[in-house]
Amino acid sequence: MHPFTLSMAADQTQAVEAHARDTHLTFIAGGTDLLGLMKDRVTLPERLLDINGLPDMAKVKALPDGGLRIGALARMSDVAANTAVRERFPAIAEGLLFAASGQLRNMATMGGNLMQRTRCAYFRDEDNTSCNKRQPGSGCAARHGLNRNHAIFGWSDACVTTHPSDVAVALAAMDAAVVVRGPAGERTIPFTGFHRLPGSTPAQDNVLGRGDLIVAIEVPARVEGRASHYLKVRDRQSYEFALVSVAAAVAIEDGRLTSVRLAMGGVAHKPWRLYAAEEALRGTALDDTDALRSAISASFTDARPLAHNAFKLELSQRAVLRALQTAGARA
């Protein structure tokens, strides 16, 4: 293991200032992904700053208007078990429960989950395989290599990997926002703008910079929230990352969809919203399967499968249909 020093953050101001001035310092909370990255020698910080003691950052607040404020240090297991989360946004609770193992969920934080990095084998490999995320400018071995688990949307020749988070997919569907404190103060970032597409700089997973600290996640009240579902399709039932996943949330009147929110995981470098399908589904009868399939396909006209993952096109659309119908049954 790479040697490092460990210190404790006294408050948010001190944490932000320390991170801003020291490029060799990294925040640590649960550490469930960071320590693995250090063992794989992907990242080698000289100093870790423990932020677990920062006050008021582990709370889950049910807001009077029907929304939620989830502290960045809230443990995934605590959020999944929270009554308000389960009642108001079941897709968020399900996204958490499908992630990792119970032991890891007891340790992992919500902020850390958003910051976790891809599970692409070329990125995690220590054998100097070409990976622009690990070594910028070295190339992308997955582009023409083993890419069964990789992206069908939004990829570039520099990187074709996917984001691994489950709950981030549900948060994207609900138009959540990430509250960040940085050197210039606090700001709120729309969730769909928090993670980046790879472009020519795939080493940058998100829009955070030095000194930026995730403080909380805010989920606005949504009429579709209670009728929501998270579906995860994976190679094995236990402890596996998604081949594809779907968060669906709906509002229904007289058996027809009046509002739909759809996001996918396992298909892009970030949680991927299906905006075209959302629009096409409005007014569709929930029991008209053929019409649902046709509307869903509107979001797949610009999909670009790779050599080994064309199966994701059909699998994704079937998963969206199933998630949509399950969410609709809850309305």
Q: Is the pLDDT of residue 223 over 80?
A: yes
Give me the mean pLDDT over the 127-155 stretch: 95
Residue 2: its pLDDT value, please? Answer: 83
CATH number of the domain that 254 lies in?
A: 3.30.390.50
The structural domain count of the chain equals 2
pLDDT category of residue 160 using cuts at 50, 70 and 90 = very high
Angle between helices 289-296 and 311-329 (to 10 degrees): 130
pLDDT category of residue 1 using cuts at 50, 70 and 90 = confident
Residue 153: its pLDDT value, please? Answer: 98
Name the amino acid, one letter, at 35.
L
Q: Is the pLDDT of residue 164 over 90?
A: yes
pLDDT category of residue 116 using cuts at 50, 70 and 90 = very high
| Backbone φ and ψ of 11, nearest 5° | -160, 175
The angle at the Cα of 140, spanning 314 to 307, to the nearest 5 degrees, equals 30
Cα–Cα distance list, 176 to 69, 146, 185, 227, 273 (Å): 10, 33, 20, 16, 13
pLDDT, averaged across the chain:
97
Judge whether 120 lies within some domain: no
**Model confidence pLDDT, tens digit, residues 272-328:** 999 999 999 999 999 999 999 999 999 999 999 999 999 999 999 999 999 999 999
Residue 308: its pLDDT value, please? Answer: 98
Give me the mean pLDDT over the 172-201 stretch: 98
**Model confidence pLDDT, tens digit, residues 3-29:** 999 999 999 999 999 999 999 999 999
Judge whether 111 lies within some domain: no
Of 271, 292, 270, nearest to 281 by C-alpha is: 292
Instruction: Check residue 140 and report its DSSP letter.
Output: B
Judge whether 59 lies within some domain: no
Judge whether 170 lies within some domain: no
Residue 24: its pLDDT value, please? Answer: 97
Least confident of 211-220, 235-244, 277-286: 235-244
Which range of residues forms the domain containing residue 44?
Answer: 5-49
Residue 208: its pLDDT value, please? Answer: 98
Judge whether 14 lies within some domain: yes
Q: Is the pLDDT of residue 126 over 80?
A: no
Residue 103: its pLDDT value, please? Answer: 95
Judge whether 64 lies within some domain: no
Give me the mean pLDDT over the 265-278 stretch: 98
Judge whether 38 lies within some domain: yes
Residue 130: its pLDDT value, please? Answer: 95
Judge whether 264 lies within some domain: yes
**Model confidence pLDDT, tens digit, residues 23-76:** 999 999 999 999 999 999 999 999 999 999 999 999 999 999 999 999 999 999
Give me the mean pLDDT over the 262-272 stretch: 98
Of 44, 4, 45, nearest to 24 by C-alpha is: 45
Residue 238: its pLDDT value, please? Answer: 83
Token couple for 209: 């910079």
Give me the mean pLDDT over the 260-269 stretch: 98
